[in-house]
Chains A and B, each alone.
Chain A
Amino acid sequence: MFFPSSAVVALVDTPVTWSMRKHLAHLSDEALVALVARGDDSALAELYDRVGRVAYGLAFRVLRDDRLAEDAVQDAFLAVWRTAAAFRAERAKVSTWILTLVHRRAVDVVRREERRRAEPLDDTTRVAATSESAEDAAWLGFERDRVKEALRQLPDAQREAIELAYYGGYSQSELAERLGLPLGTIKSRMFAGLARLRELLDDGAEEGSWTLNFTN
């Protein structure tokens, strides 16, 4: 449906009031992206409020530096702002798209700067002071535990390949060299591990907290 441009301008120029934020809170992620594509920065803010925390945790895990992690998140959200109109929502979640952008950005930086080589690779999760709601914190904590439990159930070799790649930013070739294994072995482990992890998460999603259904 087409709106007269004046209506669009009116929508975009509406001041961000509390009631509007409240209104946005009821929109789906996809609807927010459509608003972002029209230049609605309050929709971008709402997307950040939904995904920014996880995005930062991901960037920080890969980069191990708060300044670099914030830069990666900032670049990714600006890319969302600029390219929202090109996003196709039918088969992927908005959060997945944003996290993919953040991860690629973080991995680019880490490979260029050789930053993470000396870092410990085990889980060094730290608890940070935050202003998030208790409800959000509880959901995130629950999801985090569930995913960690699924990771624990993977065979060690598969878990190692996935964690070094996704959290450490190592490429398959780098991993083959580091672990002294043929490249083909690394590829197979990564594939088998990710497929197994998908099953484990799927099984655990019966309660509906994590869903592989694409939103809407």
Chain B
Amino acid sequence: MDAELHELSAGFALDALEPEQRDAFERHLAGCPECQEELASFWEVAGALAVAADSAAPSPELRDRILADARGEKQTVVSLDSGRRVSPGLAAVTAVAAAVAIGLGIYAVSLNNDLDSTRLALSAQGSAAALLADSSATSVALQSGTGRLVVGDGGAAVLVLNDLPAAPSGKTYQAWIVDGEMSVSAGTFTSTNDQAVVPIPQAVPDGAVVAVTIEQSGGASSPTLPPLAASEPV
């Protein structure tokens, strides 16, 4: 472990790093379980500092504004930027939100301690984060299952599934692009803590559906069971 990089965990938790150092630390973090552990506990300390920050109270209207904003986006098929007033920097904070979520999610993929698969999973999650944070992306509801399909320019897509228990031993989840009668595999994936964020490796054509089945480990060449989850047509 690089001691100098390790020390950056404190500055990272306090948001006190310059952008280059923040990037360097994030890259290091992906392969360093010690730093992941350290950062998690430093984030908790920062949370304690937040409690002691100031006793000032927000106006009661703030709560109403937040809920009005959220309800403004609540549709079954919603553009993530459906004409609402976007405050300056909102796209940036959304990107940060995704990055922080993914950052915390590093634990899930690093448990096996396999650097290559960790990096692979991180880079897949990284592109998923970018798409989830893209204000021009469209959110497509699922017709079965819980979650959503987020579709960006050119059919790039990420399937987000909630309430998906880990696949039983010997089984795997597999995503499919279903276009008319054609089903093309979009790869196998696992669920961690009942959630899965699945970047779809191919473009999803207009009118196609993204579906999920459970298959034997290694995956199948075509779906062998009815889907557990499926999106509305894109």
A residues with a Cβ closer than 8 A to B are 1-5, 8, 34, 37-39, 41, 44-45, 48-49, 52-58, 60-62, 66, 69-71, 73-83, 85-93, 95-97, 99-105, 107-109, 125-132, 140-141, 143-144, 147-148, 150-151, 162, 165-167, 169-173, 175, 187-188, 190-191, 193-195, 197-198, 201, 210, 212, 214
Contact = CB atoms under 8 A, between A and B. Distances in A.
20 contacts: A1-B163, A38-B162, A41-B74, A48-B67, A49-B63, A57-B51, A61-B54, A77-B66, A85-B162, A88-B105, A90-B193, A91-B36, A105-B89, A108-B92, A109-B89, A128-B57, A151-B49, A197-B48, A198-B45, A201-B45
Given A53-B57, A109-B89, A171-B18, A79 B97 contact: yes
Contacts of B17: 171-172
Contacts of B102: 86
Interface in B69-99: 69-71, 73-74, 80, 87, 89-90, 92-94, 96-98
B54 A194 contact: no
B146 A38 contact: yes
A97 B101 contact: yes
Contacts of B98: 83, 86
A60 B53 contact: yes
B48 A147 contact: yes
A197 B45 contact: yes
A187 B194 CA distance: 38
B13 interface: yes
Contacts of A131: 60
B77 to A, nearest CB: 12
A209 to B, nearest CB: 11
B94 A147 contact: no
B16 A172 contact: yes
Nearest to A42: B67
B23 interface: no
Interface string B155-168: 00000101111000
A34 B51 contact: no
A191 B8 CA distance: 8
Contact of B90 (A55, A75, A125, A190): A75
Contacts of B202: none
In the complex, which of the residues B46, B94, B128 has the most CB atoms of chain A within 10 Å of its own CB atom? B46
Contacts of B222: none
Given A83-B97, A99-B46, A102-B50, 7 more contacts: A85-B147, A85-B197, A87-B101, A90-B108, A125-B55, A166-B46, A191-B11
A210 B55 contact: no
B108 A88 contact: yes
A187 B11 CA distance: 7
B132 interface: yes
B96 A104 contact: yes
B195 A88 contact: yes
Given A109-B89, A175-B16, A198-B45, A97 B100 contact: yes
Contact of B46 (A41, A100, A191): A100
B89 A147 contact: no
B177 interface: no
B1 to A, nearest CB: 14
A103 B50 contact: yes
A7 B208 CA distance: 24
A74 B10 contact: no
Nearest to B71: A41
A212 B44 contact: yes
A34 B92 contact: no
Contact of A126 (B41, B54, B128): B54
Shortest 9 CB-CB distances between A and B: which pairs? A79-B97, A88-B105, A147-B52, A61-B53, A165-B16, A56-B58, A191-B10, A128-B57, A61-B54
B93 A52 contact: no
Contacts of A107: 15
Contacts of B104: 87-88, 91-92, 97
B56 interface: yes
B113 interface: no
A187 B7 contact: yes
Interface string B16-45: 111001000000000000001000111111
